[in-house]
Amino acid sequence: MPATSRVIPANEYRRERWRNQLGWTREICRNGDGNAWDWRLSIAEIEQDAAFSCFPGIDRELVLLAGNGLRLRFDDGECIDLQPPHERHRFAGERGVTGELVDGPTHDFNLMWRRGRVEADLWHRPLVGPMVIFAEPHSTWVVHLLAGQARFADNSGLPALAAGDTALFAAGAARLRHVIDGGGEALLIRLTGAGAGVGEKIASAR
């Protein structure tokens, strides 16, 4: 599988209803067709208290992007508060949970991956000067720029990143290297495992 590197601008994310029709999300990209994807990135728009969609066999991590806080009230009694700036929580997609607004609407970064096929790691990092990304063979890295701006200080020819944009780096059989230079903060995601690589069925608004 060949290496794939690209930038997905925020204005090209695809807005669609939640699976349970109780809210809206802006899909950044997913690896696979329809509901048979191995991983998916999106930004949930939560404007009122609502139950989350059920995703059996999927693990997910939610990161507060904007707003004054989101309370995750699980059906089993657990309650987690996500506070600004950018608190996050990882949980199983089949757990029943309701998102309750603490003080007004929120936007929340939503990373989901298929259990048993993909492993996912997510970090919140400052961007101060150059940052080198090494994608190991058959892995995929994602950089979602939370704030600031950045450019690629290599020969990739990729466009610059503005706040809200996402860069996708999928390594083929060889390691892939990129250098990002700028200022701000970002979410970094590493996807590994049998379903981590970006194949022909990658879907996005582009």
- Give the model confidence (pLDDT) of 22-45 as tens digits: 999 999 999 998 888 999 999 999
Q: Give the single-character DSSP code of 160.
A: P
Residue 51 lies in a domain: yes
Whether residues 78 and 25 share a domain: the answer is yes
pLDDT of residue 2: 63
Q: Are residues 197 and 125 in the same domain?
A: yes
The residue among 63, 80, 114 that closes a domain is 114
Q: Is 130's pLDDT higher than 70?
A: yes
Query: What residue numbers bound the domain in which 108 lies?
Result: 12-114
Whether residue 66 lies inside any domain: the answer is: yes
Of the listed ranges 2-11, 70-79, 136-145, 195-204, the one predicted with least confidence: 195-204
In a domain, residue 4? The reply is no
**Does residue 7 lie within any of the structural domains?**
no
Residue that is last in its domain, among 114, 143, 160: 114
Cα 195 from Cα 193, distance rounded (Å): 6
Are residues 136 and 91 located together in one domain of the fold? no
Residue 110: predicted pLDDT: 98
Q: Render pLDDT for 80-121 as a digit per residue (tens, 0 to 9).
A: 999 999 999 999 999 999 999 999 999 999 999 999 999 999
Number of domains in the chain: 2
Q: Within a domain: residue 2?
A: no
First to last CA, the chain: 20
**Res 33: pLDDT:** 82
pLDDT band at 200 (very low <50, low <70, confident <90, very high): very low
| Residue where a domain stops, chosen among 76, 94, 114 | 114
Domain-embedded: residue 104: yes
The confidence score (pLDDT) of residue 1 equals 53
Closest CA to 101 of 77, 131, 78, 71: 71
What is the domain-level CATH number for residue 154?
Answer: 2.60.120.10
pLDDT in tens, 138-182: 999 999 999 999 999 998 999 999 999 999 999 999 999 999 999
Domain co-membership, 103 together with 124? no
Q: Is the pLDDT of residue 20 over 60?
A: yes
